[in-house]
Amino acid sequence: MSLLPHCLNFNLFCFTGALCQKSTLKPRPTDVPDMPPCILQPEEYTGMSKERMMEIRRQNCNPMVMKVTNYKKPVFIHQGYMQWLWDVDGKRYLDLFACVATVSVGHCHPKVVAAAEKQLKRVWHTTNIYVNPPLHEYCEKLASYFPDPLKVVYLTNSGSEANDLAMLMARLHTRNFDIITFRGSYHGGSQQTLGLTSNVAYKYPVANGLGCTNTMCPDVFRGPWGGSHCRDSPVQTNRECGCAQGHCMAKDQYIGQLKETFQTSVPSQIAAFFGEPIQGAGGAVQYPKSYLKEAYKLVRERGGICIADEVQTGFGRTGSHFWGFQGHDVIPDMVTMAKGIGNGFPMGAIVTTKEIASSFGKGLHFNTFGGNPLACAVASSVLDTIAEDGAQQSSLTVGTYLMTELAKLRDKYEIIGDVRGKGLQIGVEMVKDKASRDPLPLEAMSEIFEDIKDMGVLIGKGGLYGQTFRIQPPMCITMEDAEFFLDIFNKSIHNYMERK
């Protein structure tokens, strides 16, 4: 029996065009723009009822799943293909959140499915006690995407696990303990990484994150300093800028805050600084240009290593570069990654230097599943697919267009405060009004969010106050999809303003 999902077999016929799905099975509201066509006809869903699933969700699933059920009327996903998801009723959605920035090249991408199927039939699991080809092929391939001296790969099963390991390695290598991260960040939910994570929603009243200190996030829109030239994005803030050409005062002020953290909150020698190149869960927050470069220098002067968390920004998503750190003109000592690495297959990784790896090599570290052949075959095919499909270039083109057009909506509507990002890592920050920049209340955010979903588009939310819409789609979205979303977004804001 073929392990290819029915959808993909069917897809072969769909390429003829005769059976292409022009619209969703369920009629959509009549005044909603037409959804771009899709080549796949989904399978008919004949499984468990929605009511029964919700009952099980309440009774047998951990209570967190209810907490994160994002919509008032939940979405019940049955099938996916590239940038499309179908619910159990056959309604089609344009997925602009990639199931939290994770499905990098597209749901059930045929090339990745084929690679997984091939490896599934050969061998699923071995152990590092033996030598298996997929692990070695993948480590060599992944390392080739990094500049020197980042050449040693550790494979894990998630981003939290990668960041946990990074903390341990940084401490062992430097023989220091303290680690600094940005406020508003999310770096994981394990007891160690909760110390890096700096958002009240994820914190528990238990001892965690011993030796972790948060510093001010250099957020040029919401923070105390910022102007209209600070960030590396096609769209700047609407704030005034009085800086001389080539000199960013906001950057100096935020670096001043970091220096104050060094003066007041940590010992003179530290273990590490962790930062995402663009803060993802914080709502695609971007720092002033050159901030990271200067911060890295200060951290290294204090004995620390610099760690880039590329869980969201890696694998071409930012468009201009394959890794987010390259956009800041820095080379970290360690890079952590997950999410998009496996297009949704559970996997994470660290890439670091030989020196740091050898400090860690003094003990024995073992990970049963990290780097199993199936994960490596999938991840290897993801790297090939990004190259073959031109996903990074497409992120740049479609993402830049989306941001430029969203900026026009920002200028049109008082409640759109900021549009920012790079490539397909986009944040749209919503405010009560432009003058105060106070966050749009949660109820209003939910209303707009629900309306966008009802009109057929899934996006994400983030920010310390839940005030930022996040757009981080599979990198296969097209200009036509972007146009469709812009129409829907415009309409949802218009609807909200009318109801007010």
Question: Residues in the site for ligand PLP, rule: CB under 6 A?
Answer: 158-160, 163, 186-188, 276, 280-281, 309, 311-312, 338
Q: Which is nearer to ligand PLP, 134 or 188 (CB)?
A: 188
CB 91, min distance to ligand PLP, A: 27
Q: How far is the CB of 160 from ligand PLP (least distance, A)?
A: 3
Task: Name which of 87 and 309 has its Cβ closer to ligand PLP.
Answer: 309
Q: Which is nearer to ligand PLP, 347 or 440 (CB)?
A: 347
Least separation in angstroms between residue 161's CB and ligand PLP is 7
State the nearest-atom distance from the C-beta of 309 to ligand PLP, in Å.
5
Query: Nearer to ligand PLP by C-beta: 230 or 281?
Result: 281
Name every residue whose Cβ is closer than 8 Å to that of residue 467 and which is 6 or more positions away in sequence. Answer: 283, 429, 430, 431, 439, 440, 445
Calculate the dihedral angle through the C-alpha atoms of 70, 74, 77, 82, rounding to the nearest 10 degrees: -50
Least separation in angstroms between CB 425 and ligand PLP: 11
Is 308 within 8 Å of 323 (Cβ atoms)? yes
Q: Which residues lie closer than 8 Å to 237 by C-beta, 6 or more apart?
A: 220, 221, 226, 227, 228, 230, 231, 418, 420
Give the pair of three-digit tokens for residue 160.
């939290």
Name which of 8 and 306 has its Cβ closer to ligand PLP.
306
Largest Cα–Cα distance in the chain? 69
254, 222 contact by CB (below 8 A): no
Tell me the two tokens of residue 413: 């509507």
Could you say which DSSP state residue 36 is in? P
Least separation in angstroms between residue 23's CB and ligand PLP is 33
Element (H, E) at 294: helix 291-301
d(CA 407, CA 428): 9
DSSP assignment string, 132-171: -HHHHHHHHHHHTTS-TT--EEEEESSHHHHHHHHHHHHH
Distance CA 51, CA 54 (A): 5
Is the Cβ of residue 158 or residue 237 nearer to ligand PLP in the bound state? 158
Q: How far is the CB of 174 from ligand PLP (least distance, A)?
A: 21
Q: How far is the CB of 339 from ligand PLP (least distance, A)?
A: 6
Residue 121: how many other CB atoms lie within 10 Å:
9
Residue 158 vs 468, nearer CB to ligand PLP: 158
* Least CB distance to ligand PLP at residue 20 (A): 34
Instruction: Give the nearest residue (CB) to ligand PLP.
Output: 159
Min dist. Cβ of residue 159 to ligand PLP (A): 2
Cβ proximity to ligand PLP: between 160 and 353 the closer is 160
Nearer to ligand PLP, 220 or 311 (CB): 311
- Collapsing DSSP to helix, strand or coil, 416 comes out as strand
- In the chain, helix, strand, coil percent, each to 5? 40, 15, 50
Alpha carbon distance 291, 308 (integer Å): 14
Instruction: Tell me if 471 sits within 8 A of 97, measured CB to CB.
Output: yes
Handedness of CA 437, 438, 442, 448 (dihedral sign): negative
Torsion of CA 142, 161, 322, 295, to 10 degrees: -120
Distances (CA, A) of 408 to 5, 226, 404, 419, 420: 41, 20, 7, 10, 12
The torsion of the CA quartet 131, 137, 138, 140, rounded to 10 degrees, works out to 110
Residue 162 or 493: the one with the smaller Cβ distance to ligand PLP is 162
Residue closer to ligand PLP by CB (options 162, 415) is 162
Q: How far is the CB of 336 from ligand PLP (least distance, A)?
A: 7
Question: Do residues 149 and 353 make contact, with C-beta atoms less than 8 angstroms apart?
Answer: yes
Q: Which is nearer to ligand PLP, 344 or 373 (CB)?
A: 344
Query: What is the SS3 assignment for 460?
Result: strand
Give me the least distance between CB of 85 and ligand PLP, in Å please. 19
